[in-house]
Amino acid sequence: MKVSVKVPATVANLGPGFDCFGLALPLYNIVTLEETVLPGSGIEINIINEKNNEGTNLDDVATDKTNIVYKAIELLYNFIGQTPNELKITIKTQIPISRGLGSSASVIVGGLIAANELLGRPADEKVLMSIATEIEGHPDNITPAFKGGITLSSWEEDGSVLYRKLPWNDDWKLMICIPDYELNTEISRSVLPKEVPLKDAVYNLKRSALFVDSLYNKDENLLKAALSDKLHQPYREKLVPGMSDITKNLKHTNGVIGTVLCGAGPAIAIIYNGINVAEIKEIVSNTWNYHNVNTGFLNLPIEKEGASIIN
In the bound complex, what is the minimum distance in angstroms from residue 266's beta carbon to ligand HSE? 11
C-beta closer to ligand HSE: residue 26 or 137: 137
The helix (run of H) or strand (run of E) holding residue 135 is helix 125-136
Nearer to ligand HSE, 74 or 229 (CB): 229
12 binds ligand HSE (CB under 6 A): yes
Choices 13-21, 154-162, 214-222, 270-278; region in contact with ligand HSE by CB under 6 A: 13-21
Cβ distance 20 to 154 under 8 Å? Answer: yes
Select the span of 37-45, 133-141, 214-222, 238-246 touching ligand HSE (CB under 6 A): 133-141
* Phi and psi torsions of 10, nearest 5°: -140, 155
| Residue 263 engages ligand HSE in binding (rule: CB under 6 A) | yes
- Cα separation, 224 vs 50, in Å, equals 35
The answer, yes or no, to whether the previous bond of 139 is cis (omega within 30 of 0) is no
Per-residue binding string, ligand HSE, 167-206, x by CB under 6 A, is ------------------x--xx-----------------
**What is the nearest approach in angstroms of ligand HSE to the Cβ of residue 40?**
33
Q: Does 303 bind ligand HSE (CB under 6 A)?
A: no
How much of the chain is in helix, strand and coil states, percent to nearest 5? 35, 25, 40
**Shortest approach of ligand HSE to residue 216 CB, angstroms?**
23
- We find the least distance from the C-beta atom of residue 41 to ligand HSE, in angstroms, to be 29
Is position 141 an interface residue for ligand HSE (rule: CB under 6 A)? yes
Q: Give the dihedral of Cα atoms 280, 284, 289, 295; nearest 10 deg.
A: -110
| Residue 140 binds ligand HSE (CB under 6 A) | yes
Phi-psi region of 242 (alpha: psi -120 to 50; beta: other; left: phi over 0): left
The DSSP 8-state label assigned to residue 96 in this structure reads: P
Do the strands 161-166 and 150-155 form a parallel or antiparallel pair, or are they unpaired?
antiparallel
Q: Which residues bind ligand HSE (CB under 6 A)?
A: 12-13, 18-19, 100, 138, 140-141, 185, 188-189, 232, 263-264
